[in-house]
Amino acid sequence: MNDQRHPSSPAAKSEFTVQDAYAYDQRGPRRWIVSHVLRYKWLLIGSLVFSIIDFMAYSQSPVLIGRAAEEIMTPTGGDMLLRISLSVLGVLILSSFAFLGGSLLIETIAQRLERDARQELYVSLLGKSQTFHDRQRVGDIMARATDDVRQLNGMISPGARFIYETVIGIMVPLFYIALIKLELLLVPTVFLTSYVIAVRRYTRRLNPVMRNQREQFGTMNAGLEETISGIEIVKASVQEAFEQTRFRRNARLFRDYFVQQGQIEARYLPLLLYGIALGMIFLHSMVLYDAGRLSIPDIIAVMGLMGILRFPTFISIFSFSLVQLGIASAERILHIVTAQTELDENAGGYSRQIEGDIVFDNVTFRYDDDGQNIVLQDVSFRIRPGQTVAVVGQTGSGKSTLTQLINRTYDVTEGRILIDGVDVREWDLDVLRSQISKIEQDVFLFSRTLAENIAFGAPHTPQEQIEHAAREAQAHDFILTFNEGYQTKVGERGVTLSGGQRQRIALARAFLSDPRILILDDSTSAIDSATEDQIQKAIRRAQEGRTTLLITHRLSQIRWADLILVLDQGQLVAAGTHDALLRTSPNYRRIFARYDVDLPPLEPAPDLKLAAQLT
């Protein structure tokens, strides 16, 4: 489908976009829903036409029955009753087929709306920055992506369908009543006016309850997800009773909003108004009959037409509830879709093969905008292409955050980061990240096969290359111990593998992507010494011709680094080689005080900016 842009839709930043994607009007939940539905406007028009035919034909049946009564009272002879009976059968069959056609079309719109909305939300989530995701509760996001999106389906069918059928189902019978006797519209007109007023009051009271109901569902779902994700800690801390009480409290609040919905629906007035209108129009018909202005067949037809109004009036109690629920869900979905993100993919930005020159120029970073929680402050250094750089420091000193700024997981707050002399914010984000590979201490594996996890960055990689990468990471042998080998499926987050096995799979993934910049965040922390020696050889082969950053406290890895950066409370306090820092940096010496290492006498530290630029 061609790309369609709404003139007033804001262009939001995103790290990921789909080419030629259909753009919806995101200026509000109602506009957003309408723009989704109008994407299939011919299906909507067809459904409306079928509904009009349905009620036109169905409303014709009481008129024909009135004619049959007239024929019984004053026979005209022949087979008139048979023809009228066949006509009634014909219009009811036509009504049934029109109902089926309209139902099929509106149900198609509902299913496509649910599909499109879920896809739009998913693409939006892929394009949000890490900062955005850090602030979200996973359970609430899952509730929006599943249950809230599902509510959009019910909002269209049967919700919106019942609403427009209510309108058609009221207007068509009134049209036939007007053809019988125009003045008989007096009571239906009063009923229609009071019906509109009652429905408006009903929806105004129902809307906030539905909104709160959806928000509470998200809260309850988020709490459930957190408990299940942290079930090991819950059990180890013997907090099952506390978590059960917490969930029960959230579930009770969710139930309370349903009770409030039921209380509002129980006071729904249109059905009472319809009963009054039915009695009043019968009284009006009797008055006209006594005056000789209305016949008994006409009264039968009028009462039959008024009977048609009962179902549209009754079903509106559910249709408006479903629509309000859908609007509340759309508001929650749209809140995520339109949320501002800090990063943009910068498609068409600077694009070339990275050589590996990295410069931090007075970089300051904090997670919030209020000036608090400074993670890195005024950090400056340079890494030459092909260098291996170790980043060390106490826990919380900003080591991992520093590496996350290189691939733009986050953007700097102040200063700039240059790769090959170009600010990372000017690079095409896909080009930049595709040439940087990072292996975290907490390795994440998907619930897929081992082969798919290794080839995650290059899904069409031949099996031979996957196995070669696994051998380089010392993972091939343990993979073959599984019955299904590379086709073995790992559990969620890789829980069926040991820590060392997960890290070797992550190393294989990095080797396969052949990055220009390799970042290892304590990536061998869960590997035994024998395996580490083998992996170190593979890592040293992988380091050839590319820039490597190591976050580690292992002396065996640090001492071979070309440059070591020492961080303390977000500041770069020392930089240099291993031997030089042992002589000049108290912070570096404290890190290795626990090792059985003879420390040389402490000497005065050299100029930090000069040391940071050592080649």
547-598 tens-digit pLDDT: 999 998 777 778 888 999 999 999 999 998 888 888 888 888 887 776 666 6
- In what helix (H) or strand (E) does residue 469 lie, and over which residues does it extend? helix 463-472
Question: What is the architecture, at CATH level 2, of domain 444-514?
Answer: 3-Layer(aba) Sandwich (3.40)
The length of the chain is 615
Say which CATH superfamily domain 29-337 falls into: ABC transporter type 1, transmembrane domain (1.20.1560.10)
Q: What pLDDT digit, counting tens, does each position of 406-418 carry?
A: 999 899 999 999 9
Please tell me the distance from the alpha carbon of residue 101 to that of residue 50, in angstroms, as a whole number. Answer: 6
Mean pLDDT of 451-478: 89
Please tell me the distance from the alpha carbon of residue 407 to that of residue 512, in angstroms, as a whole number. Answer: 18
Q: What pLDDT digit, counting tens, does each position of 419-429 carry?
A: 999 999 999 99
Least confident of 194-208, 254-268, 514-528: 514-528
Please say if the pLDDT value at position 289 is more than 80: yes
Q: What pLDDT digit, counting tens, does each position of 502-537 carry?
A: 888 888 888 888 889 999 887 666 566 666 666 676
Give me the residues paired with residue 519 across strands: 438, 549
Contact 80, 304 (CB under 8 A): no
Domain with CATH 1.20.1560.10 in the chain: 29-337
Q: What pLDDT digit, counting tens, does each position of 35-57 carry?
A: 999 999 999 999 999 999 999 99
Mean pLDDT of 113-126: 94
Q: Which residue has the higher pLDDT, 496 or 435?
A: 435
- Determine the longest span between alpha carbons in the chain, in angstroms: 127
The pLDDT confidence band at residue 3, using thresholds 50, 70 and 90, is very low
State the DSSP code for 475.
Answer: -
Is residue 460 classed exposed, middle or buried when 0-12, 13-18 and 19+ CB atoms within 10 A define those classes? exposed
Q: Which pLDDT does position 230 carry in this prediction?
A: 84
Q: What pLDDT digit, counting tens, does each position of 334-390 carry?
A: 999 998 877 788 888 999 999 999 999 999 998 876 666 789 999 999 999 989 999
Give Cα 83 distance to the centre of its chain: 59
Please tell me the distance from the alpha carbon of residue 432 to that of residue 424, in angstroms, as a whole number. Answer: 8
What the block records as the tokens of 17 is 């976009």
Domain with CATH 3.40.50.300 in the chain: 444-514
The pLDDT confidence band at residue 11, using thresholds 50, 70 and 90, is low
How far is residue 142 from each of residues 138, 396, 479, measured CA to CA in Å? 6, 30, 33
How far is residue 499 from each of residues 87, 320, 327, 524, 602, measured CA to CA in Å? 77, 53, 45, 9, 38
Q: Which pLDDT does position 459 carry in this prediction?
A: 83
* Mean pLDDT value across the chain: 87
How far is residue 6 from each of residues 26, 35, 192, 338, 368, measured CA to CA in Å? 9, 9, 36, 14, 32
Q: Which pLDDT does position 532 carry in this prediction?
A: 67
